[in-house]
Amino acid sequence: MGKKIKDPGIGNTSAAHVGRLINDNGAFNVVHKNKSKRFSEAYNYLINMSWGHFFVLSFISYTVANILFAGLYLVTGINEITATTGNVYQDFLNAFFFSSQTFTTLGYGAMAPSGVASGIISSIEAFIGLMFFAFATGLLYGRFSKPRAAIRFSEHLILNELKAHKALMFRIENDRRSTMIQPKVSVTLKLSKKNRKGNYVNDFYNLELERRTINYLPTTWTIVHKIDENSPLSHFFEDNIKSLQGEFIVMVSYYDESFNQEVHQMYSYLLKDVKLHYRFLKTYYYNEKGQMVLDHKLFNAIESTKS
């Protein structure tokens, strides 16, 4: 029986309907309630949001700012910028286009402020525009330069025979073409159980792995936990393992040559999703030139071991 460890930082309290601890994106599945929002967290939020959301938010912010300033130019009088057309919609478009030129400090010369009010507003807008693009440029640099691991985890956690023992396995690969330098893996098992008082609690175990680290990873790496007498799963049968309220919490770290520093990524597997009597298919072979060919389509490929 494996030796329990102290709470690694998750908490010992559990529940009968507890969900997974780690989401598919590697983030902890924690819902924050009644947490005060601070402006200092805006940078972290903008750095970590998806690229699609980032560009949509930038475009919306830019458009809203120009609509507001276009409204101000209409209030102060469109005649201070260009001759009125007598049509509110057309005048608004002219004000919006002038606002866009001022906000980006572009200026085509066709329209220019000729009054004090429009001059003050355009000066303020030019300043805000400079700050906006400086901030956006900083965010773009931060998003590109932020170290991010690119580890791909197999969809399946499988249970199969390995040298007269049962073994749980999953595999990883680098989602970039660069080579992982000295990747290290640690796996923590979280088991949720009901205690004598009827409350659900978490038990934690550091799982022994066939190998915890390798020198480099150009292809794939199958992570193996052998279920022997030292495993916390040693006294469970195959069907019992699937019924356990347990989760494998995986953390992989390695030195990334692109960012010149160590990066890490987290993932998790639920024991109820384990595939019994399957094995992974080999993902690479050698071509006529003697080159190793890695077929990424086979990364999640498994086959049954039952005859």
pLDDT in tens, 78-133: 988 988 888 999 999 999 999 999 999 887 878 888 889 989 999 999 999 999 99
pLDDT at residue 54 tops 70: yes
Q: Confidence class of residue 1 from pLDDT cuts 50, 70 and 90?
A: low
pLDDT tens string 233-249: 888 877 778 788 889 99
d(CA 152, CA 175): 6
d(CA 166, CA 168): 7
State if pTM tops 0.85. no
Note the helical H segments in the chain.
42-48, 51-76, 88-103, 116-145, 238-243
d(CA 223, CA 207): 11
Q: Please, which residues bridge with residue 192 across strands?
A: 202
d(CA 137, CA 132): 9
Residue ranges of domains in the chain, CATH in brackets: 39-145 (1.10.287.70), 149-304 (2.60.40.1400)
Provide CB contacts within 8 A for 221, sequence distance 6+: 171, 172, 173, 183, 185, 214
pLDDT tens string 284-293: 889 999 999 9
Secondary structure (3-state) at 245 = coil
Distances 218 to 136, 157, 279 between C-alpha atoms, Å: 36, 22, 21
